[in-house]
Each structure stands twice: as structure tokens, then as C-alpha cells.
């Protein structure tokens, strides 16, 4: 395998709150290859954003990294000083947030905002910085760069603002781009354009991308590999085809089955019962067990490890233990494999 550019090993992050210690991320490991897009999927509170904020060194003050390491080009980011992290953040690793309006300064012309990102990580002359800004505007598909350079964020539409945010993120030629729900606030047609743009940029620059989203349609569109998170853990990880057409974890089954495809007729939608657990003093055993119709006795006792399905595909469910009873996935899931490409 090609050397990973980012490797997260056994990361655990907790938050101290008045109500108790929230175990937001619990022993997760994954790696990211050069030029690859890894999607982190899951519901609110599953730990996907906390994972990425750990990589960026942007955790809140009440957060504690309990264990693990985050290796970027072989060096542990968790051991870096604030000063060292400032050089990496926005430089080698950049981030795009969900809401473009709150990530831009409303009182500053967008040309200057992008130029700021350019000059922060590189010593360049004013003229050169401006040339780079115009180049970035063109890269993200904003026309009439010379004129747009002097405009304020409110003069742009939501989709264009997200393009500007992407331009800022790309200013220093990052090796890794972390996109936290970058299209959630946008309409479908705008979303489609931004997704196309991100893939296009990736082809041109070879940047690796971690894409956080809860939308499985978006995942299918952008991801090479997918990590499904639940209650602070990665419960299934594999290539997009493995996770969408041959999912092994009952939670992944539930997520996929609960989305109607254009072919779903009048039958009742499969719904995962219940709600996600709180992560304060989590109960022993598998935290998905109370919502899992396929839960085994073993789930009440211990959390399942990630069992290998293939060299690239792993799932944390006791169903994969050789001693477990043989269980077929629900019909909606088997149909996915049969009708791949025409769902």
C-alpha cells in the first residue's frame, strides 16, 4: 500500500462538562492516502467533527485527548506546540466549514480575505499575492475575478460564498482538506456544483480530503472510502462499494435502509428505533445494541472489535465473529447489491 499521508491511531477524546465526562471519540483509527477522499458519516454527536477538530488542533478548552496519536507525514500532531500547529493549520491541513456566511468576515473585501490566507503561510509581494488570489478565484469557478476581488461577502450567493471559503482553504496548497458538511446549507443544485468543483480541484491538486457528512447520497458521490461512525466509534470502514453494496454492520444496514431510493414504493420505511445514547458514563457492551434488532448476548457484555471482512473492509459487530449465528442482511440491503448502479 502507498504510504498514508495521515494516520490516526487509537484516538480517544473526552469533554469535561458539568453533567460529567462525555466520551465523544472512543478509540478510533483510520488512515488517509494521498489524493484520496475519505468520508466520515454519522449522526449529530457521533464524534465525526470532534475527530477532525483533533486533527486540526482546534478542540474546545474542555476537551481532553485521552489516548492515541495523529501522524501527519510521520509526525504526531498531538505533540506539536501551538506555534507549530499554527503553521500546519491552514497551511498543510486546511478546513472548510458548513456555513460559509459565518466563516467569512462580512466587513472585509473577499480579495483581501483570500490574500490574507496566501500571505500567512508564504512570504510574497503584494502583487504576487493578488495574482495568486485571482488564480484561486478562477480555480473555484468565480468569474470576473478582478471585479469580484473588491466585493464583500454579502454581494455573493450562498454557493459562491462557499466557493470563496474553498479558495481560502486552498490558498496555501494544503496536502489535506477537511470539509465539515460543506454542502449541507446549500440547495441540491448548488450542492451538485460544489461537489463537482471539489472533485475537480482534487484531480488538479492531488489534495487528500476528509469529508464529513450525514448525507449518504453525498458520500456515494465523493468518497473513495467510507467510515461510518456511531457513538464515538468507527463501526464500519471500507471502500465506497464495500460499504454501500456489501455493508456488514446493522447500523449501516439501518442507515441505508431508512433512505428511500427513487424506486422505493409504498412500503413502510425501515426506521432505526430509538435515539443515540448519551456518551456520559456509557453502559458496558455495544452502545448500538439497544437499537439493534440483530443484537446478540455478547453485545451486552463487550464492545465488538473491528472484524476484517476484506483487506480494506472492517466492521465492529459480533455478527462477524465465527461463533455468531449466520444472519442475512435485510431485504432492502440485499436489493442494493443486486441493483447497484440503478438504485
Partner 1 sequence: MSAEKNLIEVKDLTHDYTGGRGRPAVQRVSFAIREGETFGLVGESGCGKTTTGRMLVRLLEITSGSVRFDGQDIIGLRGKELLDFRRQAQIIFQDPYASLDPRKKVRDIIAEGIDIHHLAQNRGDREAQVSQLLSSVGLRPEHLTRYPHEFSGGQRQRIGIARALATQPRFVVCDEPISALDVSIQAQVVNLLKEEQRHRGLTYLFIAHDLSMVKYISDRIAVMYRGRIVETGPSDLVYGNPLHPYTRSLISAIPLPDPESERSRRRIPYDQPEAAEDAELQEIEPGHFVLL
Which residues contribute to the site for partner 1 (CB under 8 A)?
A: 43-44, 187-193, 195-196, 214-221, 223, 240-241, 244-245, 254-256, 258-262, 264, 268-273, 275-276, 336, 340-343
Work out how close the CB of 87 gets to partner 1 at its nearest, in angstroms, rounded to a whole number.
36
User: 126-139 and 110-121 are packed helices; what angle lies between their axes, rounded to 10 degrees?
Assistant: 110
Work out how close the CB of 35 gets to partner 1 at its nearest, in angstroms, rounded to a whole number.
16
Cα atoms in the 13 Å half-sphere on the side-chain side of 163? 25
Look up residue 204 and give its three cell numbers.
488538479
Work out how close the CB of 232 gets to partner 1 at its nearest, in angstroms, rounded to a whole number.
15
Work out how close the CB of 191 gets to partner 1 at its nearest, in angstroms, rounded to a whole number.
7
Nearer to partner 1, 171 or 229 (CB): 229
* Cα–Cα dist 102/165, whole Å: 10
Nearer to partner 1, 81 or 342 (CB): 342
Nearer to partner 1, 4 or 226 (CB): 226
Work out how close the CB of 182 gets to partner 1 at its nearest, in angstroms, rounded to a whole number.
13
Work out how close the CB of 135 gets to partner 1 at its nearest, in angstroms, rounded to a whole number.
24
What does the DSSP assignment read for 275-294? -PPP-BSPPSS-TTGGG-TT
* Cα–Cα dist 215/186, whole Å: 13
Work out how close the CB of 141 gets to partner 1 at its nearest, in angstroms, rounded to a whole number.
12
Look up residue 262 and give its three cell numbers.
427513487
Strand 93-96 versus strand 75-76 pairing type: unpaired
Work out how close the CB of 39 gets to partner 1 at its nearest, in angstroms, rounded to a whole number.
11
Nearer to partner 1, 73 or 330 (CB): 330
CB 211 within 8 A of CB 22: no
Instruction: Tell me the backbone φ, ψ of residue 209, rounded to 5 degrees.
Output: -130, 135
CB 249 within 8 A of CB 234: no
Helices (H), 90-144: 100-103, 110-121, 126-139
Looking at residue 62, what DSSP letter applies? Answer: T
Nearer to partner 1, 43 or 128 (CB): 43
Burial of 67 (0-12, 13-18, 19+ CB in 10 A): middle
> Taking the CB of residue 131, how many other CB atoms lie within 10 A of it?
13
Nearer to partner 1, 88 or 227 (CB): 227
Amino acid at each position: 500500500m502507498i504510504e498514508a499521508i495521515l494516520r490516526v491511531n487509537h484516538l480517544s477524546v473526552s469533554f469535561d462538562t458539568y453533567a460529567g465526562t462525555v466520551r465523544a471519540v472512543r478509540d478510533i483509527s483510520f488512515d488517509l492516502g494521498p489524493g484520496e477522499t475519505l468520508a466520515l458519516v454519522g449522526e449529530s454527536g457521533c464524534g465525526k467533527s470532534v475527530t477532525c477538530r483533533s486533527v486540526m488542533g482546534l478542540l474546545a478548552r474542555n476537551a481532553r485527548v485521552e489516548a492515541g496519536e495523529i501522524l501527519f507525514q510521520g509526525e504526531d500532531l498531538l505533540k506539536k506546540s501551538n506555534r507549530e500547529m499554527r503553521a500546519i493549520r491552514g497551511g498543510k491541513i486546511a478546513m472548510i466549514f458548513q456555513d460559509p456566511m459565518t466563516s467569512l468576515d462580512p466587513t472585509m473585501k473577499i480579495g483581501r480575505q483570500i490574500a490574507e490566507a496566501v500571505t500567512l503561510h508564504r512570504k510574497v509581494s503584494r502583487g504576487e499575492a493578488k495574482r495568486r488570489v485571482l488564480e484561486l478565484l478562477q480555480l473555484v469557478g468565480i468569474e470576473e475575478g478582478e471585479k469580484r476581488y473588491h466585493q464583500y461577502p454579502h454581494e455573493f450567493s450562498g454557493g459562491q460564498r462557499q466557493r470563496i471559503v474553498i479558495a481560502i482553504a486552498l490558498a496555501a496548497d494544503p496536502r489535506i482538506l477537511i470539509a465539515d458538511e460543506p454542502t449541507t446549507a446549500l440547495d441540491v443544485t448548488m450542492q451538485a456544483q460544489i461537489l463537482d468543483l471539489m472533485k475537480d480541484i482534487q484531480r488538479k491538486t492531488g489534495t487528500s480530503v476528509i469529508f464529513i457528512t450525514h448525507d449518504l447520497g453525498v458520500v456515494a458521490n465523493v468518497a473513495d472510502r467510507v467510515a461510518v461512525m456511531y457513538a464515538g466509534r468507527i463501526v464500519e470502514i471500507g471502500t465506497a462499494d464495500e460499504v454501500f453494496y456489501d455493508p456488514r454492520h446493522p447500523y449501516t444496514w439501518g442507515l441505508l435502509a431508512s433512505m428511500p431510493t427513487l424506486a422505493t414504493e409504498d412500503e413502510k420505511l425501515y426506521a432505526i428505533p430509538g435515539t443515540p445514547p448519551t456518551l456520559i458514563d456509557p453502559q458496558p457492551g455495544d452502545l448500538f445494541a439497544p437499537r439493534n434488532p440483530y443484537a446478540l448476548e455478547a453485545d451486552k457484555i463487550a464492545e465488538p472489535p473491528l472484524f476484517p471482512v476484506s483487506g480494506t473492509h472492517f466492521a465492529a459487530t459480533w455478527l462477524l465473529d465465527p461463533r455468531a449465528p449466520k444472519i442475512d442482511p435485510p431485504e432492502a440491503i440485499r436489493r442494493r447489491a443486486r441493483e447497484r448502479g440503478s438504485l
